[in-house]
Amino acid sequence: MREFHKLYYNSAFTNGTFQNTYWLGIPAFKCPLDLWIYQEIIVDLKPDVIIEAGTAYGGSALFLASICDLVEKGEVITIDIEEVDERPNHNRIKYLTGSSVSIDIVDRVKSYIGEEEEVMVILDSDHSKDHVLEELRVYGNLVTEGQYLVVEDTNLNGNPVCPDNGPGPMEAVKEFLENNDRFQIDESKEKFYLTFSPRGYLRKSR
């Protein structure tokens, strides 16, 4: 499984696999098996707000919004440091430009969340350990009880891909959980074996 994971991931650098994956014609730089898990979570828990750190071309935001359409509930707030003109327009998507951990962006995100709304978070921006750890601390507080905080690309730094990456999302998750007992790793969300978020599906206890 680890060897297939590396084959699948590394072929992206020759224009294959996840960097050649589209949702409704928009690039979506995700493992499709993780997207399937996302739709299961959305159908099951029906979050009112899904916060996504890391937009790229907007394919994953469009996927999430499409599932929200199907369950007739939810909106997506997606954050990136860059603006891309070709991103899709959708009435359930709000685009924010800036660092996911800047005071301005965090305050704007909070302003879109109602007092009783259920919140899910997906982290897929800067993959350095320090940045992800800061995101975990900030957005972990916004995730509501029973919902998920998903840390993507925990497969970096030899877990099992990109062994020379250096400390990243996996190491950030480990340190975060050492000091936070409100979240538990939900390994049932790795049921398809191939996931870009090993040990990265964190559910907040009730």
Instruction: Point out the least confidently predicted range of 9-23, 37-51, 98-112, 139-153.
Output: 9-23
Query: For residue 17, what pLDDT is reported?
Result: 85
Average pLDDT estimate for 10-30: 89
Query: For residue 15, what pLDDT is reported?
Result: 74
Average pLDDT estimate for 13-31: 90
Average pLDDT estimate for 50-57: 97
DSSP one-letter code for 183: E
Hunting for tokens 């975060």 — which residue is that? Answer: 176
Mean of all residue pLDDT scores within the chain:
96
Query: For residue 59, what pLDDT is reported?
Result: 97
pLDDT at 148 over 90: yes
pLDDT at 5 over 90: yes
Average pLDDT estimate for 184-194: 98
Domain 2-204 falls under CATH 3.40.50.150: yes
Q: What percent of the chain has pLDDT over 90?
A: 94
Q: What percent of the chain has pLDDT over 70?
A: 100
pLDDT at 12 over 90: no
Tens digits of residue pLDDT in 84-130? 998 999 999 999 999 999 999 999 999 999 999 999 999 999 999 99
What confidence tier does 16 reach under pLDDT thresholds 50, 70, 90?
Answer: confident
Average pLDDT estimate for 39-46: 98
pLDDT at 204 over 80: yes
Query: For residue 162, what pLDDT is reported?
Result: 96
- Tokens representing 49 are 């707000």
What confidence tier does 13 reach under pLDDT thresholds 50, 70, 90?
Answer: confident
